Structure 1
Amino acid sequence: MRWMWIDRVVELVPRQRMVAIKNISLAEEHLHDHFAADPARDLPALPVMPASLIIEGCAQTAGILVGHAESFREKVILAKINRAEISREATPGTTLRYTATIERMDAAGASTRILIALFDHAHAAAGFEEIGQVEMMFSHLDQNMGGAGRTGEAFPEHNFVFGEGFKTLLRTSGIPVP
Structure 2
Amino acid sequence: MRWMWVDRFVEFESGKRAVSIKNVSLAEEHLHDHFPGFPVMPHSLILEGLAQTGGILLGESHQFSKVVVLAKVPRMTFHSYVTPGETLTYRTTLEEANAEGGMVSATAKVGDRMVAEGEILFAHVNSEQSGSVRVDQKSFVFELLRGILDVGKTGDPTLPVA
- Counterpart in 2 of 1:39? none
* Paired residue type of 1:129: R
Question: Shift in Å at residue 33 of structure 1?
Answer: 0.8
Contact map agreement 1:19 1:99 (CA 8 A) in 2 = yes
Q: Report matched runs for 1:96-107 at 5 Å.
A: 96-107=88-99
- Counterpart in 2 of 1:123? none
Q: Residues 22 and 169 from structure 1, CA distance in 2 versus in 1: closer, same or farther, beyond 3 angstroms?
A: farther
Question: Shift in Å at residue 162 of structure 1?
Answer: 3.0
Contact map agreement 1:31 1:49 (CA 8 A) in 2 = yes
> Paired residue for 2:121, among 123, 129, 137?
137
| Separation in 2, partners of 1:152, 1:8 | 28
Question: Shift in Å at residue 131 of structure 1?
Answer: 2.3
Contact map agreement 1:77 1:161 (CA 8 A) in 2 = no
Q: Residues 116 and 32 from structure 1, CA distance in 2 versus in 1: closer, same or farther, beyond 3 angstroms?
A: same
Q: Residues 157 and 94 from structure 1, CA distance in 2 versus in 1: closer, same or farther, beyond 3 angstroms?
A: closer
- Counterpart in 2 of 1:7? 7
Deviations 1:132-177 (A, max 9, x none): 21211111111xx73xxxx6946536237636213x26257467xx
> Paired residue for 2:148, among 170, 173, 177?
170
User: Which sections of structure 2, spanning at least 5 residues, go unmatched?
Assistant: 154-162
Q: Residues 152 and 172 from structure 1, CA distance in 2 versus in 1: closer, same or farther, beyond 3 angstroms?
A: closer
| Separation in 1, partners of 2:47, 2:13 | 21
- Counterpart in 2 of 1:72? 64
Q: Report matched runs for 1:43-62 at 5 Å.
A: 45-62=37-54
Which protein shows a greater Rg?
1
- Counterpart in 1 of 2:134? 156
Select the structure that is richer in helix. Answer: 1
- SS of the aligned residue for 1:88 comes to coil
- Counterpart in 1 of 2:86? 94
Contact map agreement 1:55 1:134 (CA 8 A) in 2 = no
| Separation in 1, partners of 2:83, 2:130 | 45
Contact map agreement 2:70 2:123 (CA 8 A) in 1 = yes
Q: Report matched runs for 1:109-120 at 5 Å.
A: 109-119=101-111
Deviations 1:74-95 (A, max 9, x none): 1000011111111101001111
Question: Shift in Å at residue 29 of structure 1?
Answer: 1.0
Contact map agreement 1:58 1:134 (CA 8 A) in 2 = no
TM-score of the pair, normalised by structure 1: 0.77
User: Which sections of structure 1, spanning at least 5 residues, go unmatched?
Assistant: 37-44, 120-127
